[in-house]
Amino acid sequence: MSGDPGLYGPSSVTWHLHADPTMWIAGIRALYFQALHPKAMRGVAQNSDFKRDATGRLVRTANFVGATTYATLAEAERMAAGVRRLHASMRAYDPDLDRTYRLDEPDALLWVHCTLVDSFLGVVRRAGFSLTDAHADRYVREQRRNAAIIGLSPDEAPGSVAELAAYFAEVRPHLQAIPEALDTYEFLMRPPLPAVLAPARDTVYRRLSHLAYSALPVWAHELYGKPAAAENVTTRRLRAFRRLALVVPKAIRWRYPADYLPQAIERLGRHTTPSPAALGAV
């Protein structure tokens, strides 16, 4: 293989898992999940136009994941440096503790990192992407590279599925659905759109958003106090979505976000095309 494989490369689990179309559902799930951390939620609410540009935030997150997975190492590091600078420049106020804090404090960064890792791995795997337990552990361990480029020490981030679960058990008592989180829930379920797009929102997007919410842990639903589909129903719907999404040609699916994956395949060779089957050799 010639060319720059970037942060991960085709020998990683990340390379193959992140090409799955259910990553979009996982991204929405992560937004619901992240809102349950009061510090992280206040940081977003006080420093962004999330309610006016929720789609933009999702796309920016997807672009970041796409770049760090498939772009050259230099490009991934440039994007990460921009994110670090942005977080370092932002402040938020905690009314419970009467203190102002930076958005790049380690506990908030770690929460965002872990919710993304848990959402990507959990949703894609639950939707039918075949992974062994060893591959799942390897994926979590690989994601320490992303933790490092956003400003965390790699050993601060979980290195296995068990460590990821232990992290959530430890942080869970500190989570709650503060008013800003409940606003985010309502907004994600029914974002304001031009009248011409409202029918699509109510018939298609809302179902997908509720599917993403239902894919959260049961204890997260309890914190929100909002109904979710039954676990077995959620799994069936995730698998149905994935089957339908896989019908869309790769040439279309992989153009978004920002064409990173097609460019990586062109740079490294067609034998690097992501495929669950290729994980047998990983």
The pLDDT tens digits for 57-79 are 667 788 999 999 999 999 999 99
Would 149 be classed as within a structural domain? yes
| 116: confidence class by pLDDT, cuts 50, 70, 90 | very high
Contacts of 146 (CB under 8 A, 6+ apart): 7, 68, 113, 116
pLDDT score for 75: 94
| 55: confidence class by pLDDT, cuts 50, 70, 90 | low
C-alpha torsion 207→208→213→214, nearest 10: 70
Residue 56, pLDDT > 70, answer no
Amino acid at 113: H
Lowest-confidence segment of 25-34, 160-169, 194-203 by average pLDDT: 194-203
**Per-residue exposure over 83-108, b if at least 16 CB sit within 10 Å of its own CB, e if not:** beeebeebebeeeeeeeebebbeeeb
- Domain holding 236, by residue range, is 13-281
Amino acid at 73: L
| 197: confidence class by pLDDT, cuts 50, 70, 90 | low
Question: Measured between alpha carbons, how far is 231 from 130 in angstroms, rounded to an integer?
Answer: 19
| 47: confidence class by pLDDT, cuts 50, 70, 90 | confident
Lowest-confidence segment of 119-128, 183-192, 205-214, 236-245 by average pLDDT: 183-192
CB atoms within 10 A of CB 280: 10
Question: Measured between alpha carbons, how far is 155 from 141 in angstroms, rounded to an integer?
Answer: 10
Would 57 be classed as within a structural domain? yes
Would 202 be classed as within a structural domain? yes
The structure tokens listed for 30 are: 């992560």
Question: Measured between alpha carbons, how far is 68 from 6 in angstroms, rounded to an integer?
Answer: 7
Would 277 be classed as within a structural domain? yes
Question: Measured between alpha carbons, how far is 165 from 61 in angstroms, rounded to an integer?
Answer: 23
Would 6 be classed as within a structural domain? no
| pTM of the entire predicted model | 0.93
DSSP conformational letter for 271 = G
Structurally, the chain folds into a number of domains equal to 1
Would 4 be classed as within a structural domain? no
Residue 54, pLDDT > 80, answer no
Would 230 be classed as within a structural domain? yes
| Mean pLDDT (the chain, rounded) | 91
Would 5 be classed as within a structural domain? no
